[in-house]
Amino acid sequence: MGMPPPQIELKMKSEGLDASLLATPDKMIPEKEDEASATPAAPVLVAAKDHPKYAKFFKLQKMGMPPPQIELKMKAEGLDASILATPDKMLPEKEEAPVAPAAPVMVAVKDHPSYAKFFKLQKMGMPPPQIELKMKAEGLDTTLLATPDQLIPEKAETPAPPAEVLVKDHPDYAKYLKLQKMGMPPPQIELKMKAEGLDAALLATPDAVVPPPPSATSMNVALNVVKFVAKAKAKPKLRNLYWEPVAAPTEASLWSKIELSEEHQKELDSLTTLFAAAPPAADKEKKKPVAKKAATRVALIDAKRANNLGIMLARFRLPYAEIKRAVLEIDRDVLTTEKISALIQFAPEGEELETVKSYTGERKLLGDAEQYFLEISTVPRYATRLQAVLATWQFDANVEEQRRLIESVTATCAALKANAAIPEILKLVLALGNTLNEGTPRGGAQGFKLSILLKLVQVKASDNSMTLLNYLAIVLRKKNPEWLTFTDQLEALADASRVTLQVLKAGEAAIRKASATVVSELELHAKLPAVAENDKFQEAIAPFAEKSAATSTKIAEEFEAMMATFNECVRWFGEDPDAAGCGPDSFFSIFVSFGQMLQAADRDNERKRIAEEKRLRREAETRKRMAQLQSSKQQRKGLESLKEGDAQAIVKKIRGKRSEEKRKELLEQGFDPTSTESLCSNSSRQLKTQESAELLARKDEIP
């Protein structure tokens, strides 16, 4: 029939036959085995008390050891503890020799249930490193992939459980020993062990031998039986009646005469159904467990990188072939600077590209990231191509930003030198400094470093009423208030104070590198042996390359001219342009900060001046009120010194004088003096009116 010899030998071994006899078909062998040899000899029987394995336990029994301890030791050695009750029972002196285990069934590696799936992955085209990684994760031998016909046991041998274990290694007792070390009170531990049916006394002997724990299968069966019995015997939970029970009813109480009989209990059987506590409503329609689908995708790339790549590709919402077309044709409707930057970030590396290209299986089985890499693997120089395109699109914006920075620095340098207020301010500061430093080595200076302008606020007057910067602001306001706001005339000063040499140099280098990258990539692209028909790289990038070199050279020249202007401006103010940290940001920031501090000092001076004027006005008003009060007090004292007779005489004199004046006035007006009646009546009335008015006026004058 042509069956391979290894398969025939495997079947013969499984039936206990000698495979070497296949080579000697003419050899004579017995037709049947000897029946006498097959029949085992009768075992020698001895009494249990004389049995070599049981005799020592009978001896311990005679010595007075408690039976539970003896039984525990016997169980630890795997002996039957019930034999102690039958010392004369006959037992075999020697146990029967164990039957030799049957030879394991051998199968080829490619047909083994644990290895067959990996041979299938090998046929699907998965790279060998990936397969070996998965095999190692399952604890399999990766070298067997090279020998698919090698015979290995179909089932791995399972080690027999140990006959006995120590208390500290027993899973049921180990956790309580750990609790004991953690400091749990012994009564609590014993209570928990009794609840599980364990012997708490064994905690004192952690090195004692105990039987091994039962197998998982028997434990599960026992647990299910216990749950079933508990469920069958459990009574439904009833609603509670929250009364206050009588603790100990006396004989005179009604409760001492009441006894519940079985008849009463039978009448209350319906309570268990009527007043049962309603269990939580179970979902009528339980969701069926969804079976997990086996992974049908072949992963060739790191899982985390593939996940991030999938998130990036989801932004395009385009097929991978469409992304490839947009890259080849440099389609601005699809590609933007942000998307190109993302494509560059997740461009395939050399090893990833080689792994994807070596895949020979079905393309549909690959993951999204692998399919994307496989699609763009035909685009020549994918990463450098995208870098050149990105440099082209960002070139004009970078040039414009670089020129803006250069112009702000150049314009600020020119404005500082042309500003008329700065020399006057510096001259005044020099005069103040020489006055304060007179008689010291620092006195008589012809100039100073600009950094001292920011430290004027630290020099305080002897009474702490102002600083040197406040004094400078007072003098400047007297001379020319416009000098206090000299920074308002320097429009580009704030922008220039944020420009650093590192940014300027980096911008100039980026423009130069972008130009070189584009030119180099154009040359390498032109040397490619084959290019796709829709590849428009040369058409889109070539016009830019022609002007990029000239623009890059022009920007370099402008940068050098700006640095020369800046260095000249720094020297004009007596500073060293080659000093560490001397850049546009640090140099211009001195003027920005000094201008802000000078204006703040001027505002502080104005607040103090206004406050002083208010104080002086209040003092003048207070002095005026005090003088008026003193005058009114003197008048009051003069009137109070007059006596009653003096007042009457004064009034009489006033009346006489008024009467004489009135008479003269009437004679001048031509009144007849003969009509004395009317005249006297009229004059008397007028005099009385005038006298009352004068008295009222005098009272008003007295405070």
175 C-beta neighbours (distance < 10 Å), count: 13
> Residue 600: pLDDT above 90?
yes
Quote the pLDDT of residue 128: 83
Q: What is the pLDDT of residue 112?
A: 85
DSSP letter string, 503-557: HHHHHHHHHHHHHHHHHHHHHHHHT-S---TT--HHHHHHHHHHHHHHHHHHHHH
Instruction: Specify the amino acid at residue 344.
Output: I
Q: How far apart are the first and last CA of the chain?
A: 151
228-266 pLDDT, tens digit each:
444 544 556 666 665 666 666 666 655 665 665 665 555
- What pLDDT does residue 383 have? 87
pLDDT of residue 618: 92
Give residue-wise pLDDT tens across range 436-451.
Answer: 888 888 888 888 888 8
385-398 burial code (b ≥16 CB/10 A, e <16): bbbbbbbbbbbeeb
* % of residues, the chain, pLDDT over 90: 8
Mean pLDDT of 11-24: 79
Residue 107 bridge partners (DSSP): 152
**For range 328-352, the mean pLDDT:** 87
Tell me the pLDDT band of 38, cut-offs 50, 70 and 90: very low
The model's confidence at residue 512, banded by pLDDT at 50, 70 and 90, is: confident
Torsion angle (degrees, nearest 10) of CA 566, 571, 575, 578: 60
Q: Give the C-alpha separation, 595 to 488, whole Å.
A: 9
The three state secondary structure string of 106-144 is: EEEHHHCCCCHHHHHHHHHCCCHHHHHHHHHHCCCCHHH
| pLDDT value for 404 | 92
pLDDT, average across residues 191-201:
83
pLDDT digits (tens, 9 = 90+) for 68-120: 888 888 888 888 888 888 888 888 877 655 555 566 778 788 888 888 888 88
Q: What is the average per-residue pLDDT within 283-308? A: 68
